[in-house]
Structures are given as C-alpha cells and as structure tokens.
Amino acid sequence: MEVIEGARGWAEFFLTWVASPAVLYGTWVLRDIRNQLRILNGRMIRVETWRDEHEKLDDERHRENVRRLEEITRAVGGRGR
C-alpha cells in the first residue's frame, strides 16, 4: 500500500505542478495565436480591398489612355498603330 500512496503523491505532484501549468500555458499561447491571426486576417482583407480598388483605377486609366491615343492617332491622319 505504501507504493500506491507514493504513486498517488507523484501523480498529484505531476498534475498540480507540471500538467496543469503546461495546459494553461498552452491555452494562453493558442489564444494569443488566435488573436494574432485575427489581426493578420483584418490587415490582409484591407490590403486585398486596396489592391482591388487600385486595379480598377489602373484599368480605367489604361482604357482612358488607349482612348486618347486612338483619338490622337485619328487626328494626325491614322499614322502609328
């Protein structure tokens, strides 16, 4: 019976001073990772939105430049393209 009591003592020690703090620390780390991923996701969404808006602006500028170039080409007599 003394061996069983000794094993219980070690099990209690292990759970109290090793396993529980490790689980709590792991929970804290995972929670922090989750928060950082949320922040990163928000930033990525903003970057994607910014990129999409600027791609639209670039497309509009390109179409406008092509239109102007065609007008100038017609005005000078069709030379060029």
Instruction: Tell me the per-residue pLDDT of 11-42, one tens digit each, with 9 for 90 and over.
Output: 888 788 888 888 999 999 999 999 999 999 99
Residue 41: enclosing H or E segment and its boundaries?
helix 20-75
Percent of the chain scoring above 70 in pLDDT: 88
Q: How many CB atoms lie within 10 A of CB 3?
A: 7
Give the pLDDT score at 42.
96
b/e string for 26-62 if b means 16 or more Cβ within 10 A? eeeeeeeeeeeeeeeeeeeeeeeeeeeeeeeeeeeee
- Cα–Cα distance for residue pair 58/65, rounded to 1 Å: 10
Q: What is the mean pLDDT of the chain?
A: 89
- Where do the domains of the chain lie? 25-81
Give the pLDDT score at 44.
97
